[in-house]
Structure 1
Amino acid sequence: MKFDRFIRKVEGVRQQTDSLYKSVHEAPQQQELLIQAVEQLSVSLEELHVAEEELLQQNEQLVEYQQEIEKERQRYQELFDFAPDGYLVTDINGKILEANQAASQLFAIDKTRILGKLLIVFVPQQARRKFREKLARLCQQTQLRDWEIGLQNSQGILFDCEISATTTNDNKANCIGIRWLLRNVSDRKQAEEKTRFVELQNLHLREAAEFKSKIIAVLSHELRTPLNAILGFSDVLLRLNKNQFTPQSVNMVETIIRNGKQLLTLINNMLDFAKLEEGKFSLNLQYFNITELFKLITDDLRFFANQKNIALNIDINIQNVKVLNDPIRIQQLLTNLICNAIKFTETGSVLVELQELNDDKIIIIVKDTGIGISEIDLNYIFQAFRQVNQTKTRRYQGTGLGLAIVKDLLNLMQGTITVESSLGEGSTFCIELPRTVISE
């Protein structure tokens, strides 16, 4: 090392000074002049000693700096080699000088074999002209960010790649190389494509749902007008001629009226469902006596329970009977629940309870001893046009809109509904409602 040679030279000067000093004492002539020269040499030698100490200290610092630089170089090399994205260093012509492990995997080629190759060999033929144009402008632009291009590995397999690049310059600001960041975005592109496909499908589904709701609304209006006329004239016919009709004729007219009312209920449900789906449904909030409405609903439906020899029982346990809600819609959802309970119960009873949960909430429970609902079907019973999937189900009429409307109405009322059921053991529907519904 140069520093070692410097130390040897200093030692040589010291030895020569000692030799000269001895010669001065041995030669009496011009002793004083020689002594002065020796003293000056001694001073110079001392200064050299000081310089030697400083150099030793600086050399130790240089060694420490070199060790730190080596650690940083190793750290950088590790980051370079094990980075998740591909990193390349090329000259200005795109010749690969350095490559990390991710780049090697990206191009499916050994790391040692990729060095010296031109990056353009991994660009498909149809995209090479554009790549050359980008490469030619890169030294002037100094950087390239998030450029998406299709590349191919050594086996010819194509993949989508996102490229970012920056140039490196010498002391005179001349472009001497390029650093490349390569990221395989094939998975992301596929995910984006799937997302776009799903969004398109959802758009088609929304359009289909809107179209379906419009058709339901139009058909319901068109059906309700003649049906109301049929019910009206049938009722008038029965009242004016009941005494003149035979029992068989009276029964036939009553059957027309009863089935007409059932059909009108189905049509009204379809209209309400269409409005709920379109978000055009609103509540007419008012204060009313919940127990009076409760008794009125059960009294109206008791006839249907008696026809099937089913007991319809009520249990009211509530102190504050005043609630703020839409009484017509409360009647609708309760009628749907109780009618369902009666329809799917062959023997036993239907129990309807009204309770207070606290000062702010009331609970309505409809419990039957009917055919029950399987655990699988419990996940779908609130979907529109869906009935429980049982072997007996086809015996029962209905559109499957009742529970869907109940669920949507409860959402408007800030209420909830839960159900517990087992096949052959009946079902229990539990509704929680705020005593005062807040208008939105």
Structure 2
Amino acid sequence: MQNFVQKIDAVRDRAAKLQNQASTSSSQPQQLIPQALAELETALEELRVAEEEMRRQNEQLAIASMQIQSERQRYQDLFEFAPDGYLVTDCAGLIREINHAAAKLLNAPQDYLISKPLTNYVQLEQRKAFRTQLNQLHHTDKLTEWEVSICPRRAATIDVGITVAINRDNQGRAKSLRWLMREITARKLAEETLRQTQLQNLQLQETARLKSHFLAIMSHELRTPMNAIVGFSQLLLRQKCPPLAKSQENMVEIIFNNGKHLLKLIEDILQAAKIESNSLEIVPQEFNLAEIINDIKRQYCSLIKQKGLGFEVSLSLNNAIMVNDSDFLRQVLVNLLSNAIKFTEIGGVKIKAWELPTNKIAISISDTGIGIAPEDIKHIFAEFHQLNQTITRQHGGTGLGLAICDRLVALMGGQISVDSKPNQGSSFTITLPRQVKSN
């Protein structure tokens, strides 16, 4: 446009010079006509060039205007249809622009909210703090993670997370505030639920600790008198002079057997408490597995004969030497064998040991007893779980034996599994490393 104006001025200057020359020249007018025509043709050509330049600039201006309009519409669409709430307010918090998501959060039409103070929708108890923060916003460029409770129009209170950006002029003065609002009610509820869960977990952990401590103390306190009862009853049974009467001997034998049974229950409870408090550690040592199994066989041989059961031991070991905790292993095998004998009335029990190709050893104890129902298999190693209350009550027990076996086998670096069918018997298999890794 400026170039076109300059060309018009140039044509006007030429015309003025030509007029001045005509008025001051002594030549005849006929002599000036060719010169004037030439000047006029030059001026017209320059006007045509200027016109073309102006048309081109107008086209560029129209394209730029369309691009600006497109960008403005794009911004408006992004603003309007954004999933989060967006607002533009003045520095006092009066709403100038608000998108659909923000209007939905405030539960009011967009037109209704224009020129309304945003403070009106803040929970009454938080308004003073909100105004204080609003007055201090001009000292910063952006405020994030501002949590505010909003009271929508005719709706329940919600929690929102707010981010505020300051829009400034060339002199750095705050002109307006741009707000992003996102509902966080669900997140706050989840955080509160998590906090309550963590608190409950801490309370449960403390309860479990106190329970373990109580069980350990009580087990120790009970074990001392029970050892005395078992010990003195055993001495009475061995007494030869004067000999006990038959009825007295029977009563002392009942005391002795029940005392041993009760002492075993106390030992189980004490060991379970130690396992739960993580105070039980393995003591690796070298031992001969075949010797331990044969020793257990001799220990239970008479009991098995009393019940009229068969007893088979099968050892397929080229090398029976292991490095692990022999006391724990003996306890596990005794516990499994005791259960096998306890729940078997017809048939027999079998202990089998064999080597695995991965430098491990497997040991199984199987029986032909009552077996385990499929729905109970998954609970078999749970503490205090007894499969059939009628049957297990006949034989006694705490329901801790298999749970203790499971924990002890895990401490020894192994695994225990069970395969069983009702009325067809059970087979418990232990897999252990030949040499346990030291902690």
TM-score, scaled to structure 2? 0.86
How far does the alpha carbon of each residue in 1:298-344 deviate from its partner, in whole angstroms, 9 at most, with x for none? 33233333333333322222222111101110001111122122222
2:181 aligned partner: 182
Would the aligned equivalents of 2:107 and 2:155 in 1 still touch at CA under 8 Å? no
2:113 aligned partner: 114
CA 1:235–1:172 in structure 2 vs 1: closer, same or farther (change >3 Å)? same
1:48 aligned to 2:50? yes
**Which stretch shows the higher mean deviation, 36-45 or 233-242?**
36-45
Cα shift at 1:36? 5.9
Would the aligned equivalents of 1:377 and 1:389 in 2 still touch at CA under 8 Å? no
1:336-355 maps to which residues of 2 (within 5 A)? 336-355=335-354
Specify the SS of the correspondent of 1:263: helix
1:139-218 maps to which residues of 2 (within 5 A)? 139-218=138-217
Considering only aligned residues, what root-mean-square deviation do their CA atoms show, in Å?
Answer: 3.1
1:277-288 maps to which residues of 2 (within 5 A)? 277-288=276-287
Would the aligned equivalents of 1:242 and 1:250 in 2 still touch at CA under 8 Å? no
In structure 2, what is the Cα distance between the partners aligned to 1:350 and 1:243?
41
In structure 1, what is the Cα distance between the partners aligned to 2:118 and 2:297?
82
In structure 2, what is the Cα distance between the partners aligned to 1:111 and 1:306?
91
1:317 aligned partner: 316
How far does the alpha carbon of each residue in 1:26-56 deviate from its partner, in whole angstroms, 9 at most, with x for none? x63224643663465267447526xx34x55
**Which stretch shows the higher mean deviation, 89-98 or 316-325?**
89-98
In structure 2, what is the Cα distance between the partners aligned to 1:261 and 1:176?
89
- Tell me which amino acid in the other structure corresponds to 1:34: A
2:376 aligned partner: 377
In structure 2, what is the Cα distance between the partners aligned to 1:311 and 1:169?
95
CA 1:30–1:126 in structure 2 vs 1: closer, same or farther (change >3 Å)? same
Structure 1 unaligned regions, length at least 5: none
Cα shift at 1:437? 0.4
Cα shift at 1:259? 2.4
Question: Which of 31, 52, 59 in structure 2 is aligned with 1:29?
Answer: 31
Cα shift at 1:121? 1.9
Structure 2 unaligned regions, length at least 5: 23-28
Specify the SS of the correspondent of 1:94: coil
Would the aligned equivalents of 2:286 and 2:322 in 1 still touch at CA under 8 Å? yes
Cα shift at 1:58? 4.8
In structure 2, what is the Cα distance between the partners aligned to 1:132 and 1:263?
72
In structure 1, what is the Cα distance between the partners aligned to 2:100 and 2:241?
96
Specify the SS of the correspondent of 1:282: coil
2:25 aligned partner: none
- Tell me which amino acid in the other structure corresponds to 1:96: I
How far does the alpha carbon of each residue in 1:381-426 deviate from its partner, in whole angstroms, 9 at most, with x for none? 2222222245433323111111111111122111112223333333
In structure 1, what is the Cα distance between the partners aligned to 2:258 and 2:390?
25
CA 1:332–1:142 in structure 2 vs 1: closer, same or farther (change >3 Å)? same
Specify the SS of the correspondent of 2:435: coil
2:254 aligned partner: 255
In structure 2, what is the Cα distance between the partners aligned to 1:307 and 1:215?
39
How far does the alpha carbon of each residue in 1:75-109 deviate from its partner, in whole angstroms, 9 at most, with x for none? 43343333332111112222222222221221222
In structure 2, what is the Cα distance between the partners aligned to 1:36 and 1:214?
119
In structure 1, what is the Cα distance between the partners aligned to 2:171 and 2:129?
29
Overall identity of the aligned pairs, in %: 41
1:422 aligned to 2:421? yes
Cα shift at 1:248? 4.2
In structure 1, what is the Cα distance between the partners aligned to 2:340 and 2:169?
86
1:358 aligned to 2:357? yes
In structure 2, what is the Cα distance between the partners aligned to 1:109 and 1:129?
23
Cα shift at 1:178? 0.9
**Which stretch shows the higher mean deviation, 253-262 or 150-159?**
253-262
**Which stretch shows the higher mean deviation, 375-384 or 289-298?**
375-384
2:79 aligned partner: 80
**Which stretch shows the higher mean deviation, 320-329 or 388-397?**
388-397
CA 1:426–1:111 in structure 2 vs 1: closer, same or farther (change >3 Å)? farther
